[in-house]
Structure 1
Amino acid sequence: MFYNTPMPPPRDPDRLLKARGADTRPDGRFEPYRRERDSDGWDIPEEAHLLRTEVVTEKPRSIITRNTSPDISFDRSINPYRGCEHGCIYCYARPSHAYLGLSPGLDFETKITAKPDAARLLERELARPSYKPAPIALGTNTDPYQPIESKLAIMPGILRVLRDWNHPVTLVTRGQTVLRDLDLWAGMAAKGQAAVGISVTTLDPPLARALEPRAPAPATRLRMIRELADAGVPVRVMVAPVIPVLTEPEIEAILTAARQAGATTASMIPLRLPHEVAPLFRDWLDRHRPGMAAHVMNRVQAMRGGRDNDPRFGHRFRGAGIEAELALKRFRLARTRLGFRQAAPQLDCTRFGPPPRAGDQLSLF
């Protein structure tokens, strides 16, 4: 089902925004009521306050999420956070905040839920006799290395559990805090049990700042690729999302820069605008690129069957039509020319098992 909503209401004049992607707080699609600001006739100015990030903790009963989607390459994932302070306006995970009764707009990037008990829950789940190992994907919904991770440090605990159990893991991130855990990633990669994907949307710093206000700058992401690769970690550059008109001309340049930095594999995904993301992105275009807004959305719809979004399996990550085919062909030609591998290395599941405990009998082999 395609989802379209009217333009969100104007900015709350009592709030000051600094480095935020969304400009409004539209209600989620599950809410029974819609809120709108309306003047009561009293012209009484109020002091404006800077909108700051709020973090609350969650105590889930399990930490591994399963999926059976036919067009996703993994069947299990871990997300230490709900919401993401990076504030990328196009983020496909924004609609997930509606399940919490929060807005996919400003709430998504200012009301973050953290799961500090993730490592303990993970070890408990890995220890179940029925558990069968397969690569666990990190960062599939929101970025585990978003800014708050530098203070909460949930990821090192997760990685130590995976390392001790010899469990393979993959990561998708654009957060530079990943370099804090470089020794853990390098150690697991040396055993063929880790691979990292770094998302690079654009090489243009001002555009990146507007699209992804609290994410690292393009030069920092290339440095992340270089340091991970130098440490022996297989790195995939993710040219995602490819936004027609805005970032689509950079496909070859991004691949070239990432290859020079040490990335060995590459992937590409056209812009997706599910549910509330479509009106939020349209609002962003009107604020930041008003002269290009109609052109961008016409090109987006040309890849999505005339709609803002096409959620069908097999189409959502590729798009359809001539526009999508040309972008994919350009990507594949550049990938081949630059010497990227066609597929990521297979991770080793054969060593999985509980870590040795004090007093355990040593193995003879």
Structure 2
Amino acid sequence: MHMQSSNRASTIASPQQIHWEEDGESRSARWRSESGNTPPKRVVIGDDQMTADSAYRLACEGTAILWRGDFQNARQLLQAVARRIEHKPKKAKKKTDETPPRSPIDTFNLHRLAQSQRARTLAMLLLPLDEQYAIPLRRAPDVRDACEEAYGPPDQPSVVSLREVLGLVGAHEWRKKGVEIAALGARIHPYYGVFSPVRGEYIKLVADQPLPSKKLAFDIGTGTGVLGALLAQRGVERVVATDLDPRALACARENIERLGLSTQVDVIEADLFPEGRAPLVVCNPPWLPARPSSAIEHAIYDPDSQMLRGFLDGLAAHLTPGGEGWLILSDFAEHLGLRTRVQLQEWIDAAGLKVDGRLDVKPHHPRAADQSDPLYAARSKEVTSLWRLVAA
């Protein structure tokens, strides 16, 4: 799903501070949280003597632990706290014959709530970073490049959750290694915070659908630039790829350049559509109409289907006569009860569009077959579609 907006500007404008007591004196540092968490009010110092039970209890109470011990011990402690969250005994509820089965939307909301509580608890284990993004702890890895990619140039000492640092390191490795895209015959290198095109089925839909024209195409909400690159590789002479997120724009430009497609693909900052009309307009909006809990989740969650509806509402005005709009969308939201097919069709009709065909594919990612996943019932029915839309 391609990222279209971000609330990073507000966090950059006024860096928050975290305050704590240590060695009998008051201290403070810049607080960093890509999830948008506020600085914890209560902070204790943790070291290698701290037990997992103690850390788990403090974290559940909302007390953060600023780690001063060995880095690898902190990683093990985080894993131990995660195990305690997973094995936390569920409160027994009396079963009655009248208890109705849980609806898909209730299952989804409870799943998101559990994920959010787990993330909040695990985020309570904190690390110091010096003014160069080095971690001043024993056996700490070098995370400076990973931090600079996510946060920008270093400036002052800061405090961040260990879980976030591990996420930065993972994203840095993905960025270096890249994701193999079979339809491109090449790798795409995602930036931290830009949705990685790991689900290849939606890319294959765009690769397989016959092109209405090879003159010009718009790629709306380009993210990593993968669809813009694919269209260019398929012979589209000029592709205009748009996004609003600074990371996505930088990421797409780097990928397009790396693939040697800069003469064909322009990556520009725009809220949805660029100026003008095109015979092909492609969009892969976030698939789930729910509220993101952090800036990073804007790639997955589209509150009130704003981006989807914005694309539909503006499409007819940006198509040349006989042009096609390709909407790449999963029906996962429909199986979760977050949106209905009737609703989607009503939006298409209201936008002065009609469906001129649809290409469907079943997902083949591991979670679609994982019966232990709380959302398996919906995932197992999911279909990803390329809707071919034309002006009515």
Greater Cα radius of gyration, structure 1 or 2: 2
Q: TM-score range by the shorter chain?
A: 0.3 to 0.5
Looking at both structures, which has the greater relative contact order when contacts are Cα pairs under 8 Å and sequence separation is at least 6? 1
Q: TM-score, normalization: structure 1?
A: 0.37
Q: Higher strand share goes to which structure?
A: 2
Q: TM-score, normalization: structure 2?
A: 0.35
